[in-house]
Amino acid sequence: MVISDLIEVLEEYLDPKEVKAVYKAYLFGADAHHGQHRRSGEAFISHPLSVALILADMRLDSPSISAAILHDVIEDTPTLREQLAESFGEDVALLVDGVSKIDQIEFESKEHAEAENFRKMLLAMAKDIRVILIKLADRIHNMRTLDSLRSDQRKRIAQQTFDIYAPIANRLGMYTWTQELEDLSFQFLYPKRYSAIRKEISKRGAIASGLLTVHV
């Protein structure tokens, strides 16, 4: 994932000044995360760029895209909230700070009641719905790239995703996101069952295709 991929999408719906503001956030984020890498070995900046692209595909505003690019700088670099406010405005700083506060909460779901309470707390914490959207996009990309983690870490994150983030996406009417989060969670929680289901779906698809060919 490179910045040009994101810029190409942004230019479809943002004006040039807004695109320039997002690019400024990218330069800041790339510098802040310089030398950092993900478990996969990729440069860390590829992750926030991917999160930003998920949101850009939804046509979110430029402060949301900038905040997505910067969403890990408070937590993972020496960057202060005040620096973000000074460089990008209070709107972006509030969004990044909101995502950082969610990330600071450690939670390992044990039962449905606890998961429901945590979902309510997250929604109450986020005074701006864009904070939740950024966090959901962050979780989607993390789930897409979960293979680089240990098995126990994958299962813990997948369970949390299934219990917390998929239901939040569903509650917000983000049904495509809900389905992807649930599918990815199931894949890591029950890999054998997931593989069997995929094979069955593929088999039925092949049969249906064959029947269609015969009738045509």
In this structure, the dihedral spanned by the alpha carbons of residues 203, 209, 212 and 214, taken in order and rounded to 10 degrees, is -80
> How far is the C-alpha of 27 from the C-alpha of 130, rounded, in Å?
22
Written as six digits, the tokens of 91 are 């709107």
Question: Does the active-site annotation cover 76?
Answer: yes
Q: Which ranges of 62-111 does DSSP label H, i.e. alpha helix?
A: 62-69, 73-76, 81-88, 90-104
> How far is the C-alpha of 166 from the C-alpha of 136, rounded, in Å?
8
43 beta partners: 37
Proportion of the chain in helix, strand, coil states, percent, rounded to 5? 75, 0, 25
> How far is the C-alpha of 109 from the C-alpha of 155, rounded, in Å?
12
Amino acid at 131: V
Written as six digits, the tokens of 163 are 């219990």
> How far is the C-alpha of 45 from the C-alpha of 32, rounded, in Å?
9
Catalytic residue among 61, 76, 103, 116: 76
Catalytic residue among 11, 57, 75, 108: 75
The angle subtended at Cα 101 by Cα 64 and Cα 114, nearest 5°, is 115
Question: Does the active-site annotation cover 97?
Answer: no
Rg for the chain, CA atoms, rounded: 19
Active site residues: 75-76
